Structure 1
């Protein structure tokens, strides 16, 4: 397992809390997978568990909202109609 060169903070997905991982510490594999910055590790390389997690995270961000094998298209976004600000009609008439 790899050792941290810098202190980092990660969000624990099980407890939904921020966790501090101190420099010189060998974090649990599930927390080590959350540290994706190679500069945080002593040898400058991500541990194999962290590489796999980062790769899976980037793949899921490429196709949000779609599961594997799904041919469904994402729903189109509907924009709100623009209406003029209040009192603009009277300003256009020029009456004072």
Structure 2
């Protein structure tokens, strides 16, 4: 396993808490997969994946979800009243 050369913070995908990874440590594989900056690693290369992604981590592709598309197209209620300067009554 590769060692870190800089202190790094990553967000644990299960607890959503920030985890401090110290320089000189060999982080657990689930945390090592979250460190995407090659400059943080001793040899300048990202460690190889040892199987599937960490538990609870998705592919990060939130742009194709229907709710996100609806929110992008449809303005929030009450905007026309705010534009007119009235309370909407």
| 1:64 to partner: Cα distance | 3.4
CA offsets per residue over residues 6-58 of structure 1, 9 Å max, x none? 110111112221111000100000000110011100111111129x86xx746
Greater relative contact order: 1 or 2 (C-alpha under 8 angstroms, separation 6 or more)? Answer: 2
Partner secondary structure for residue 48 of structure 1: coil
- Give the TM-score, by structure 1 length: 0.61
What is the count of residue pairs matched by the alignment? Answer: 74
Q: Which has more radius of gyration? A: 1
* Displaced runs of 4 or more, over 6 A: none
Is there any run of 5+ residues in structure 2 with no aligned partner, and where?
A: none
Greater helix fraction, Structure 1 or Structure 2: 1
| 1:27 equivalent in structure 2 | 27
